[in-house]
A and B are shown apart, each in its own frame.
Chain A
Amino acid sequence: MKKFAIFIVAVFALLLGACSTGTGDTNEPEKVEDVNLTVFAAASLKSTFEELGAQFEKDNPGVTVDFNFAGSSDLVAQIQDGAPADVFASADVKNMDKAVAADVVAGEPVLFATNVLQIATPPNNPKKIATFADLAKPDVKLVICAPQVPCGNATVQVAEKAGIKLSPVSEEQSVTDVLGKVRSGEADAGLVYVTDVTSAGDDVLGIEFPESAEVVNEYPIAALKNSKNLKVAQAFAAFIASPEGQKVFKAAGFGQP
């Protein structure tokens, strides 16, 4: 369906091009052909990428940026299965490596942001959590990500480095599920990314802990080989990593690589 839509857009663009040459008006500056850029990005990048996508469209008239936000491993699988994507931004290096190994990436991936874990509790912090060790107290209902997903992998590593055994009441499928359980008050505490705490605003309380610095999640971005507009795709990837992009990531709580 998406392929068909792109086909229609391409036909339309060709027709438009034919019309403009047909009228023979040559005084106008060279108009960039309409380009539709499809960006596959990790779910945690939604708000920042939407903001930067709008900026990119403004800076490059004729370019439209469409997003597909999902879990990084799902996105890699979709790209490998031939989904029409121009750019891929992953929430971890592991999934970008998978894409590189599958030979779908054009050039070298670039790191553009980092993220660390933070403790999230309901605003009143009912169990008075102050340190990472407090999460292991028996009366604390702790919710974390399952080890199979990136945030869970980070959680396992942090707990190992801190030498603390966590016994969660639930291992959720995604970081947003963990945040949801904390927001609704079902959980006394959860381990999420610092950017999730920022985006949740007053709904949760974020508690920093020094051990989080031991496990830094890095976000790489790369243009994809199958892109029909590789130059624009590369320009978008470069824009994300540019100082202008960095400002937006910093405001959202991301760290710099």
Chain B
Amino acid sequence: MSHPSRPPAWTWIPAAGGALFLGVPLVAMALATEWSQFWELITSDSSRAALLLSIKTATASTVVCIVLGVPLALVLSRTQSRLLSSFRPLLLLPLVLPPVVGGMALLATFGRRGLLGQHLETLGFTIAFSTIAVVMAQVFVSLPFLVLTLEGSLRSAGKQFEEIAATLGAGPSTVLFRITLPLVLPGLAAGAILAFARALGEFGATITFAGSLQGVTRTLPLEIYLQRETDPNAAIALSMLLVVLAAVVMYTVHRSQEART
């Protein structure tokens, strides 16, 4: 191939429109931010509590996502079962569901009158209004991101090396830890970071399922939504903080993907 194929020139116009549509609102928000009070606004008691809780819960969610998501991606990508592949879209459904629907589903399952929640209640466990509920809401919406990313890596990595290792006498667990996982490590990292970012931004499922209390369940997005009522400047400052956090995350993913190619 002598020339890489280029898109026709006219595509630049809608492309620029799309880029502006995504970019201008962020610039507008940066312009609307009271930078002179920025530090003060994002370090108030309630802001700090929200930020700390967001980072703690998003980290916990990412760990849970890795523990549950890696095996799930392995099973989905390495098993040729019709039954399993028919379940696949169902597992990825939270990707396209509005998070508030996820919150309702979790409530129907783990709420005090829920399918499992009522039994947990008699055993003395209550999930509602706890930080655990926040983590559950975040895992529900971010797990598919990790599974999807990792599954793609697993498929493109192929089974060649695994099969060779197996013929040389390595057991399945050895193959997994010595061959498969090192091969897809960049994909796993990208998936984990995406899951972390999604967990950090989670709002709908949290407010529906976990409630909202400073330091316990009120994460950064919930704090922003509440501050908007009385202090729009604080809401915008916190939004900028979240934009910066998200930008750092996306940039890291981008870098790790560049490094792969």
B244 within 8 A of A: no
Residues of B within 8 A of A77 (CB): 232
Residues of B within 8 A of A206 (CB): none
A184 & B217 in contact (Cβ 8 Å cutoff): no
Bound Cα distance from A181 to B207, whole angstroms: 11
B112 & A186 in contact (Cβ 8 Å cutoff): yes
Majority SS at the chain A contact face? loop
Question: Which of B107, B111, B129, B232 has the largest number of chain A CB atoms within 10 A?
Answer: B129
A73 & B211 in contact (Cβ 8 Å cutoff): no
Within the complex, the shortest CB–CB distance from B111 to chain A, in Å, comes to: 6
B129 & A173 in contact (Cβ 8 Å cutoff): no
Residues of A within 8 A of B214 (CB): 171
Residues of B within 8 A of A146 (CB): 212, 226, 229
A184 & B129 in contact (Cβ 8 Å cutoff): no
B211 & A143 in contact (Cβ 8 Å cutoff): yes
Q: Which of B113, B218, B227, B230 contacts A184 (CB 8 A)?
A: B113
Within the complex, the shortest CB–CB distance from B104 to chain A, in Å, comes to: 9
B111 & A169 in contact (Cβ 8 Å cutoff): no
Bound Cα distance from A143 to B211, whole angstroms: 9
Residues of B within 8 A of A171 (CB): 212-214, 218
Q: Which of A97-156 contact B (CB under 8 A)?
A: 141, 143, 146, 148-149
**Binary contact readout B212-232 vs A (1 if CB under 8 angstroms, 0 otherwise):** 111001100000011101101
Within the complex, the shortest CB–CB distance from A201 to chain B, in Å, comes to: 18
A185 & B229 in contact (Cβ 8 Å cutoff): no
Residues of A within 8 A of B217 (CB): 170
Q: Which of B113, B129, B211, B227 contacts A185 (CB 8 A)?
A: B113
B184 within 8 A of A: no
Interface size class of B (residues with CB under 8 A): 20 to 34
Bound Cα distance from A77 to B107, whole angstroms: 33
Residues of A within 8 A of B181 (CB): none
Q: Which of B126, B211, B232 contacts A181 (CB 8 A)?
A: B211
B213 & A184 in contact (Cβ 8 Å cutoff): no
Residues of B within 8 A of A186 (CB): 107, 111-112, 128-129, 211
Bound Cα distance from A186 to B212, whole angstroms: 13
A86 within 8 A of B: no
Indicate whether A141 sits within 8 Å of B129 (C-beta atoms), given known contacts A146-B212, A186-B112.
yes
Residues of A within 8 A of B207 (CB): 173, 177
A168 within 8 A of B: yes
**Binary contact readout A175-214 vs B (1 if CB under 8 angstroms, 0 otherwise):** 0010001001110000000000000000000000000000
Residue of A nearest to B121 (CB): A185
A172 within 8 A of B: yes
Q: Knowing that A172-B211, A181-B211 are A-B contacts, what are 18 other residue pairs whose CB atoms are under 8 Å apart, sorted by A's residue number?
A: A73-B230, A77-B232, A146-B226, A148-B227, A148-B229, A149-B229, A169-B128, A169-B129, A171-B212, A171-B213, A171-B214, A173-B207, A173-B225, A173-B229, A184-B111, A185-B111, A185-B112, A186-B128
The 7 closest A-B pairs by CB, nearest first: A170-B211, A169-B129, A148-B229, A148-B230, A185-B113, A186-B128, A170-B213
B residues contacting A by CB (< 8 A) are 107, 111-113, 126, 128-129, 207, 211-214, 217-218, 225-227, 229-230, 232
17 pairs, A vs B, C-beta closer than 8 Å: A73-B229, A77-B232, A143-B211, A146-B212, A148-B227, A168-B213, A169-B129, A169-B211, A171-B214, A171-B218, A172-B212, A173-B212, A173-B225, A173-B229, A184-B113, A185-B111, A186-B111
